[in-house]
Amino acid sequence: MASGGGEVEVKDVFIGAGCNRIVNNVSWGACDLVAFGAQNAVAIFCPKSAQILTTLPGHNASVNCTHWLPSSKFAFRAKHLNCHYLLSGDSDGVIHLWEFSLLNQKWRNVLQLPKSHKKGVTCITAHIISETAAIVASSSSDGSVCVWEVSFPSTNEGDCTLLLLDTLLVGSKSMVALSLAELPGNANHMVLAMGGLDNKIHLYCGKRTGEFVKACELKGHTDWIRSLDFSLPMCKTGEENSIMLVSSSQDRGIRIWKMVLHGSLANMNGGCKKEEISLTSYIQGPIFTSGPSTYQVSLESLLIGHEDWVYSVQWQPPSAAETEGVPCYQSESILSASMDKTMMIWKPEKTSGIWMNVVTVGELSHSALGFYGGHWSPNGDSILAHGYGGSFHLWRDVGISSGNWKPQKVPSGHFAAVMDISWARSGDYFVSVSHDQTTRIFSPWKNVNSLEEGSWHEIARPQVHGHDINCVTLIQGKGNHRFVSGAEEKVARVFEAPLSFLKTLSHATLQNFVATEDHLVDVQILGANMSALGLSQKPIYVHSANKTPDRSGNEGLDTLETIPDAVPVVLTEPPIEDQLAWHTLWPESHKLYGHGNELFSLCCDHKGKLVASSCKAQTASVAEIWLWEVGSWKAVGRLQSHSLTITQMEFSRDDSMLLAVSRDRQFSVFKIQRTGSDEIHHELISRQEAHRRIIWSCSWNPFGHEFATGSRDKTVKLWTATPDYSSVKQLATLSQFKSSVTALSWVGLDPESNGLLAVGMENGLLELWSLSIKRTEGVSSNVVASVVKRLDPFVCHVSSVNRLSWREPEEEIEECRKLQLASCGADHCVRVFEVKVSV
């Protein structure tokens, strides 16, 4: 129950996250959802809505690989399933099995596989035998490969069972690519292909119920094998007598191997020696036996076209049309993804049978720095890549008959810990900064045809930097949109919104662009260009946007590489990765010099007149707070109180006080006054050792001079400053939390006394507390505190919460208040929650 007897409801409305930058991390399931690892979480996104639906908590280490059961390859065997399953493996060697119910869209952690890998999992693959059984293989950098049988329940009530069939030890050169298939003409026998650091493909055969034995090696690649994929049975002659294996390597080549039932090879060719040698005749390879059958392996084709390592190859899933009442056979089409920034689709030419590259996508991108993997949608009309920048790239074939692949919207987000967030004064968007060296802006994009709040998207990437970014604050006063950010460097940087962003924001919020006091008439900067070293961003002016920039002068001599020119555009729909990475930068207007170490914390007052900054410190002289005047950007004050790094600062709502908390376990409250000549007068009111461990966070009551502090000692304490600004006394200590308190944010529900305090912890969990302050003669005397909501772990972060921030609530008090809470964490995620409080 909330203060005043009201109910509190919380729902998550947005998750933004980037993909872990590792091969085999992404899987597209037969249920048409995509799974990927985002730090220690498994994130699930829907390609149709371009939204991340949920994150699955359970791993204690970075997620390396995911694999759907059934994956898009086996969509034809998933038509009558009520539940789909997902495997995820992490860098500690732990593998989890998850269940997804199609009926109620709910997730469940079914089990953790018995730990059989001592180091990180590098690949998971599976072959779906029936609607109730699958064979799964997993490889690890400890040199082991495990084969499991997974039995799915035949009814909704049952549970999965798991049986370890075999553990294969491959030695010091570990395997990083696996694929499983049923041997043609031999239903009970499986073949497992594995490849890795020894440049060879190893084939193992075995019964579905028992041990796997080594059958043969396939040689030809001259560098590490990165991806393997078996086809479904090929059927050109009416018999299921062959399957294909496609392999890709860091030698830039792709090889297609054919595995034919040996008896059928002689019948098919009628004695192959007499046959004319053509371009497509096989180079004969090894012969192996499994059970009663013998198989001939041969090299069918070598595909050369990529200019860098080929990280993934995948056969196209059979289309639904092929599966009505007839057995399902393989489409002759392969998707490859490479670090050369391209994905290619390969098909054999109809007449000669020679495999050709028929589609290439992605080659124009400046942003991707290469692809780690490529994936087909279950129906084969879309292809998805995940890239070096934690980004997704999706193309859909929108052509009627011939291929016409167009980029589609995808979710996006940071690919390293997100350190800080700050709401715009209008509440239309918030900005986040991360150790991935980017600053990003997220906003709901409203729909013209709908009255509802639009879906959230990343709409700009105003800063792409060369240092990890630790802190950010948006200037709250009137005038153009501006923010200050601080990175692992001694200088804070000020950025100002360009015209292209102002117009994009007006499209997103469905407000007509008007040159009001907020959107200054004299914004003459259209956008910004990246510098070669990625540190400063130079403005592009409106009048010069149409001219070709002259880069022939001395500037070209000291640039390390050619940086393409940005083309700032006004976006009329949510942007895709290529536009975000290059064309939405904000120009840097000022640098703030003064600190002796790397910046750590920033805040702005509510009138938009002052910015406070602090840096990493181990001595009192370095741990001082600098005050900067907005506009002139002069240093107008240096406040000394602490001896170690100040972790967070915040101005009181009336801007009369500045609160700072520090690693030295103390908080400080300063009185801030403006004298007649606009000089700043500051005075230390109180400094107290408030907690037994580091104080990570603080937050003021928006309707008073009470504040909260949260610490590593797992406590939150409430304090009040006396009306005469003479001292600070403690009001209460909330009951002990289960984990270190790392983030706090206080929102007022009414001017009298009631409010909500959001508490974020090191374990990623979030709680909402109702606070009701009792005042006697204007002085806070007591506080009634109770927890009103502990958020479900499936909507919380999975690692430390770094910052919480309430959107400024609207003025009018309705029967039901709708509030929005933004959060960010070490799990690479930014989240927005809608909190409904019935008054």
Mind listing the pLDDT tens digit for each residue in 330-345? 788 999 999 988 999 9
- CA–CA gap between residue 266 and residue 270 (Å, rounded): 5
- What letter represents residue 398's amino acid? V
Structure tokens at 427: 């509440």
- What letter represents residue 600's amino acid? F
- CA–CA gap between residue 79 and residue 153 (Å, rounded): 16
Q: Which secondary structure element, helix H or strand E, spans residue 499, and what is its range?
A: helix 499-508
The pair phi, psi for residue 557, each rounded to 5°, is -75, -35
The pair phi, psi for residue 597, each rounded to 5°, is -135, -175
Q: Mention every residue, 6+ apart, whose C-beta is less than 8 A from residue 657.
A: 651, 669, 670, 671, 672, 685, 705, 721, 725
Structure tokens at 574: 């949510």
- CA–CA gap between residue 341 and residue 391 (Å, rounded): 12
815 or 698, which is more confident:
698
> Length of the chain in residues, anyone?
839
Q: For 13-33, give one letter per residue: b (16+ CB within 10 A) or e.
A: ebbbbbbbbbbbbbbbbbbeb
In this predicted structure, which of 761-775, 781-795, 799-813 has the lowest mean pLDDT? 799-813
Q: What angle do CA 579, 36, 346 make, to 5 degrees?
A: 70
In this predicted structure, which of 187-191, 311-315, 361-365, 533-537 has the lowest mean pLDDT? 533-537
User: Using one digit for the tens of pLDDT, what is the confidence trace for 417-462?
Assistant: 999 999 998 889 999 999 999 999 999 988 766 556 678 999 999 9
pLDDT band with cut points at 50, 70 and 90 for residue 580 = confident
781 or 519, which is more confident:
781
Q: What angle do CA 9, 430, 473 make, to 5 degrees?
A: 120
- CB neighbours (10 Å) of residue 67? 25
CA 214 to chain centre: 39
The pair phi, psi for residue 502, each rounded to 5°, is -60, -40
The pair phi, psi for residue 267, each rounded to 5°, is -65, -40
CA 127 to chain centre: 28
CA 420 to chain centre: 16
Pick one of 2.60.40.10, 1.10.1040.10, 2.130.10.10, 3.30.70.360 as the CATH number of 418-543+564-838. Answer: 2.130.10.10
Q: Where are the domains of the chain?
A: 328-399, 418-543+564-838
Which pLDDT score is estimated for 446? 83
- CA–CA gap between residue 442 and residue 829 (Å, rounded): 12
Which residue(s) pair with 463 in the sheet?
439
pLDDT band with cut points at 50, 70 and 90 for residue 557 = very low
Highest mean pLDDT among 29-38, 442-451, 677-686, 723-732: 29-38
Which pLDDT score is estimated for 274? 37
Which residue(s) pair with 112 in the sheet?
96
- Give the DSSP letter of residue 52: E
pLDDT band with cut points at 50, 70 and 90 for residue 559 = very low
Whether 34 shows a pLDDT value over 70: the answer reads yes
The pair phi, psi for residue 550, each rounded to 5°, is -95, 105
Q: Above pLDDT 70, what percent of the chain? A: 86
Which pLDDT score is estimated for 268? 43
Whether 16 shows a pLDDT value over 60: the answer reads yes
Which pLDDT score is estimated for 280? 47
**pLDDT average, residue stretch 75-81:** 81
- CA–CA gap between residue 649 and residue 313 (Å, rounded): 50
Q: For 245-260, give one letter per residue: b (16+ CB within 10 A) or e.
A: bbbbbbbbbbbbbbbb
8 Å CB contact between 584 and 462: yes
Whether 202 shows a pLDDT value over 80: the answer reads yes
